[in-house]
Structure 1
Amino acid sequence: MRHAIHPVSRPVLFRDRAAGFELLVPSTAATQHTVQGKDGHTYPVVDVEVSSASHPFYTGTSRVVDTAGRVQRFEQRYGSTARAHR
């Protein structure tokens, strides 16, 4: 195995500021900033916009799309000729 060609893996804190969620995982992500963790150690930090704590799918706040209403609006707009060509 060749030496010095692989990136260094180290603990990195991924932080979702919107949800107040932090996750400390080993990563090779390049970071510009550091922050002090809850355990008192200083870690490189990556701010993310969406995490499992704030994503609608995981939080259960996702909306159900009304497909029947969409089909009816399409038929009103363009007529029912789209079904006749099947």
Structure 2
Amino acid sequence: MKQFAKLFDYSDIGQVLVKLDTNDQAEAEVRFYFKPENLGICSVALSGFPGTDDDQWQQAETGFNNIDAAAAHELVTATLKTLPGGLGA
């Protein structure tokens, strides 16, 4: 059975859920969900892959398959650094 989600748990940023899905425009995406301190659940996505629908899904699946604990931590940590002062951890 193919995976469509991965869950990682970190001591510094908490849980990160990575999900292979579609966005509101029915395009393939890889979305990262996380909950910074003092905020609700947040997410950031990799989407907008070029090519046909099949090409986009292939790229999203390849990206999803390549996401490991280190890559998920790096992406979410970098995202948290972009939050305006006073928001989140």
Structure 1 and Structure 2 fold alike (TM over 0.5): no
Question: Taking structure 1 as the reference length, what is the TM-score of the superposition?
Answer: 0.26
Q: Give me the TM-score of the superposition, normalised by structure 2.
A: 0.25
Structure with bigger helix share is 2
